[in-house]
């Protein structure tokens, strides 16, 4: 399965609750991976495997290695996106990890921490310079982690990508913001935006795909949202509505 500028590109968005048992969450993720072997890309919500388990932060960060050791052997031609809690010396990061062909092909630590959720008390701020496009099989991707979606300077950093990926744990009280900002980013950057949001209590769900034309696909009733997109829409909208 080649991803090189395919006209049709199939996506599996997970919209799942995080259980207290890390291994159970990992087993569920693996089950969805096996059921969606025909998809080009699978994306999971922010820190889906452990949640923001501050009471057991060391255990959550230790699970980083368990998860990668389990997932890398089973991720071949597909792309898998998730975020994990990673410890480096005395620092903890919320790290986005992109897996492809049994390798970690991109990592990115969360730069904009959500202070209302006390993330700044537990996590170290990531490197702003790592928020930039990356390429897999000729396609350009960008990645923002949840709260980072709100910052227009980060939109600019990802100009020119085909797809922006957003793993999130976004609250229900700000659901409308998630949907509008995702659509606005897709229209402004003339690309596809893919959001995988948590289905935990008080979370917004609203996992979605926003097209470069601003069209939205979402369904809060589902645990899995499947969609095949036409990547030629990116080229079409950029030719029709020149931003140069």
Structural domains of the chain sorted by starting position, each given as residue range(s) with its CATH number in brackets: 8-240 (3.60.110.10)
- Write down the pLDDT at residue 4: 44
Q: Give the Cα separation of 216 and 45 in Å (integer).
A: 18
Q: Which residues contact 62 (CB under 8 A, 6 or more apart)?
A: 87
Of the candidates 162, 146, 58, the residue with the CA atom closest to the CA atom of residue 109: 146
Q: Give the Cα separation of 68 and 16 in Å (integer).
A: 19
Question: Burial letters for 197-216: b for 16+ Cβ neighbours within 10 Å, e otherwise?
Answer: bbbbeebbbbbbbbbbeeee
- Write down the pLDDT at residue 6: 55
Q: Give the Cα separation of 30 and 52 in Å (integer).
A: 21
Which residues of the chain are under the pLDDT cut of 70? 1-6, 244
Q: Give the Cα separation of 165 and 186 in Å (integer).
A: 11
- Write down the pLDDT at residue 111: 98
What is the model's pTM? 0.95
């Amino acid at each position: 399965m080649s991803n090189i500028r395919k006209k049709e590109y199939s996506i599996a968005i997970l919209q799942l609750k995080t259980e207290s048992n890390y291994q159970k969450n990992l087993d569920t993720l693996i089950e969805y991976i096996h059921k969606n072997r025909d998809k080009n890309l699978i994306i999971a919500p922010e820190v889906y495997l452990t949640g923001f388990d501050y009471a057991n932060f060391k255990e959550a960060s230790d699970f980083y290695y368990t998860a990668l050791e389990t997932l890398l052997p089973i991720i071949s031609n597909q792309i898998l996106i998730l975020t994990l809690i990673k410890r480096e010396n005395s620092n903890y990061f919320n790290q986005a990890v992109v897996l492809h062909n049994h390798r970690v092909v991109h990592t990115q630590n969360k730069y904009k921490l959500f202070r209302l959720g006390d993330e700044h008390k537990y996590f170290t701020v990531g490197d702003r310079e790592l928020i930039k496009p990356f390429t897999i099989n000729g396609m350009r991707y960008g990645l923002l982690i949840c709260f980072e979606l709100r910052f227009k300077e980060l939109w600019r950093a990802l100009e020119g990508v085909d797809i922006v990926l957003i793993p999130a744990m976004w609250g229900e009280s700000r659901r409308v913001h998630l949907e509008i900002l995702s659509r606005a980013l897709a229209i402004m950057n003339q690309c596809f935006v893919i959001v995988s949001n948590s289905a935990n209590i008080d979370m917004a769900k609203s996992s979605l795909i926003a097209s470069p034309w601003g069209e939205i696909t979402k369904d809060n009733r589902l645990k899995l949202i499947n969609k095949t997109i036409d990547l030629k829409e990116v080229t079409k909208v950029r030719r029709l509505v020149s931003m140069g």
